[in-house]
Amino acid sequence: MNLFATLNEVLNSDVLARIAAYIDEPSEKTNKAVNGLVYTIVGGLMKRTTTEIGVNQLFNHIQKGRFDGSLTDNLSTILREPSQTNALITQGDEVISHLLPAMKSSIGSMISGYAGIRNSSAISLLGLTSTIVLNVLGKQVKDRKLDADGLAASLFSEREAFVNEVPEELMPRLIEKIGLHQVVSGLATPARRTSVETTGRQAAASGTGARSTATVSRPPVSYDPVDESDNDNGALTKWGVGLLFVLALSAGGYYIYQNTKNHSATSGDVADEVTISSDTIQADTVTRSLAVPVESTAKPKPTSPPSSTTAASAATAPTGSLTQSMTPYLGNPTLPKGRVFPLAGVSFVPGSLSLTPGSTAAVGELATLLKTYPQLQIQLVGYANDASALPATGLTNKSLSFKRVNVIKQQLISSGINFVRVDAIGRGTGVSKTDTSGIVKPTLRKIDVKVVVK
């Protein structure tokens, strides 16, 4: 049974009803908020355990807070007492402030908007749900005798289930607020503690002799100050160094003063001689962002091209249907971000993660566009309706769509594109499970490119 299935059992209808009564919110909204917080906390802890410090902190808080799973055995009874419920909220609130520092407010506002409840209710639910999640994790640690590394590995084993089960409405908010880009895309892995630290823990458990060996593996560092109070030569050396330092400062100040005067006298002539070539602008993103406004306002010429940036883009832009549709949009700064373009020419072998042979050129065209516009950031949005072709894998359409867009993302990264510039989400068939309109809608199988930053 995975972590989310266990949490669903713990957060049964009776428990959720008592939680709703405590925060004085409608049951349906409370259920949605608690469900969203479970995914938020688990996702946040996954991200936290990508660092060695985070791995140790999570394990230590579970041990010190006595999160051993005993709470989950009689949770419904405990929630009958408002004072005990408040104690659970306080406990979770304190721990989550350490594990997810400076994120409590943003999580509260996100869940408040997602579930339609008061912000104060969302904050209370965050503390309570954190305590419950940590108790379930603590029970795993106890039952399976996990150490810190084992806990982090166990948590990351839920990544696939996390991607499949997070509601489509919530996933983009989670990625943005919690910063789960690498976790969701599969690029992040749990950190492992250093071998010296692990050896030290093992030695402490095995006995004094081993403990002595572990101590040798980490050489001691001395911080004892050197006493030079009786050494006349040492005192003279200090005065000599101080005098040289003062002389160096004086010489440096005089040099800066002279250069400032010379620069002021010739700044007018130099300003007229500064030129910026299109090659320089194209080679350096920072230079481009600074140079374009200067060049466009210095000496406008009616017969010259619109701008060096446009000229450089036109000279290096790739050719193809995606380029033809995106280039006019990207080259026009007055058009708002957020437009969606179909990634035509990209398709997958039915029921698989293998791109068809003709897709390579289209992915390469997108990579060239990203290189031509170094400020461009995109979101790949995938749809799939053929997961049933692989029944043995157990993949859902949502999982398949997510994996496919990440195949494209990995190819873009291999082409030299920074992963930060490419987000990737999967939306399954594109037909919402909560759609009650009764209108039959066609399922989708495609990839879209959404412009996030122009």
- Cα–Cα distance for residue pair 187/255, rounded to 1 Å: 51
Beta strands in 261-373 (DSSP E): 340-342
Confidence of residue 1 (pLDDT cuts 50, 70, 90): low
Query: What are the backbone dihedrals phi and psi of residue 374, each rounded to the nearest 5 degrees, phi first?
Result: -65, -15
Quick one: average pLDDT of 10-37?
A: 94
| pLDDT number for residue 254 | 61
pLDDT averaged over every residue in the chain: 77
Confidence of residue 160 (pLDDT cuts 50, 70, 90): confident
Based on C-alpha coordinates, what's the Rg of the chain? 30
Nearest to 337 by CA among 377, 307, 370, 302: 377
CA dihedral 208, 210, 212, 216 (to 10 degrees): -170
Determine how β-strand 377-383 pairs with β-strand 422-426: parallel
CA 10 to chain centre: 29
User: Mind giving me the DSSP string for 397-445?
Assistant: HHHHHHHHHHHHHHHHHHTT--GGGEEEEE-TTS--TT--S--------
Burial class (CB in 10 A: 0-12, 13-18, 19+), 303: exposed
Residue 97 tokens, joined: 């402030």
Nearest to 402 by CA among 387, 383, 416: 383
Which is more confidently placed, 275 or 78? 78
Residue 51 tokens, joined: 């660092």
SS3 42: helix
| pLDDT number for residue 298 | 39
CA 317 to chain centre: 30
Residue 216 tokens, joined: 């040798």
Quick one: average pLDDT of 16-28?
A: 94
First-to-last C-alpha distance (Å) of the chain: 44
**Of the ranges 223-227, 333-337, 401-405, which one carries the lowest mean pLDDT score?**
223-227
The domain 315-453: what is its CATH number? 3.30.1330.60
SS3 184: helix
| pLDDT number for residue 294 | 35
Which is more confidently placed, 417 or 300? 417
Summarize pLDDT for 44-89 with one digit per residue, the tens: 999 999 998 889 999 999 998 889 888 888 898 999 999 999 999 9
| Residue 21: count of CB within 10 angstroms of its CB | 15
Which uninterrupted H or E stretch holds 382?
Answer: strand 377-383
Given a contact cutoff of 8 angstroms between Cβ atoms, the answer to whether 396 and 164 are in contact is yes
Which is more confidently placed, 334 or 194? 334
Most confident of 124-138, 243-257, 288-302, 316-330: 124-138
User: Using alpha carbons only, what angle is made at residue 289 by residues 283 and 294, rounded to the nearest 5 degrees?
Assistant: 110
Percent of the chain whose pLDDT exceeds 70: 71
Confidence of residue 316 (pLDDT cuts 50, 70, 90): very low
Residue 448 tokens, joined: 């879209």
Percent of the chain whose pLDDT exceeds 90: 44
Residue 429 has pLDDT above 80, yes or no: yes
Which uninterrupted H or E stretch holds 329?
Answer: helix 321-330
Given a contact cutoff of 8 angstroms between Cβ atoms, the answer to whether 92 and 128 are in contact is yes
SS3 307: coil
Which is more confidently placed, 273 or 348? 348
Helical segments of 356-396, H only: 359-372
- Cα–Cα distance for residue pair 449/427, rounded to 1 Å: 13
- Cα–Cα distance for residue pair 363/326, rounded to 1 Å: 14
Query: Which CA distances in Å does 125 have to 35, 82, 112, 133, 296?
Result: 10, 14, 10, 12, 54
With tokens 């055995």, the residue in question is 73
DSSP code for 168: T
| pLDDT number for residue 224 | 38
Nearest to 35 by CA among 179, 178, 174: 174
Quick one: average pLDDT of 263-288?
A: 39
Residue 219 has pLDDT above 50, yes or no: no
Task: Give residues with Cβ within 8 angstroms of 229, minimum separation 6.
Answer: none
Domain range summary for the chain, segments of one domain joined by +: 3-188, 315-453
| pLDDT number for residue 433 | 73
Which uninterrupted H or E stretch holds 242?
Answer: helix 232-273
